[in-house]
Amino acid sequence: MSHHGWADEGFGALADEFARNFAERGELGAALAVFVDGRKVADLWGGIADDRTGRAWTEDTVLPVMSCTKALVSISAHLLAQQGRLDLDAPVADYWPEFAQHGKERITTRMVLAHTAGIPLAERRLTFEELTARTPVIRALEEQPPLWEPGTAYDYHAHAFGYIVGEVVRRITGLRPGAHFRRIIGDELGLRTWLGMPEEEISQLAGSSRPRGGPRRRPPTRCSYGR
Q: How far apart are CA 199 and CA 39, in angstroms?
A: 31
3-state secondary structure 213-227: CCCCCCCCCEECCCC
The active-site residue, picked from 67, 76, 203, 209, is: 67
Q: Identify residue 76 by its one-letter amino acid code.
A: S
Task: For the chain, give the DSSP string.
Answer: --EEEEE-TT-HHHHHHHHHHHHTS---EEEEEEEETTEEEEEEEEEEEETTTTEEP-TT-B---GGGHHHHHHHHHHHHHHTTS--TTSBGGGT-GGG--TT-TT-BHHHHHTT-SS-SS--S-EEHHHHHH-HHHHHHHHHPPPSS-TTS-----TTTHHHHHHHHHHHHHSS-HHHHHIIIIIHHHT----SS--GGGGGGBPPP-PPTTSPPPPPP-EES---
Instruction: State yes or no: is 67 an active-site residue.
Output: yes
Catalytic residues: 67
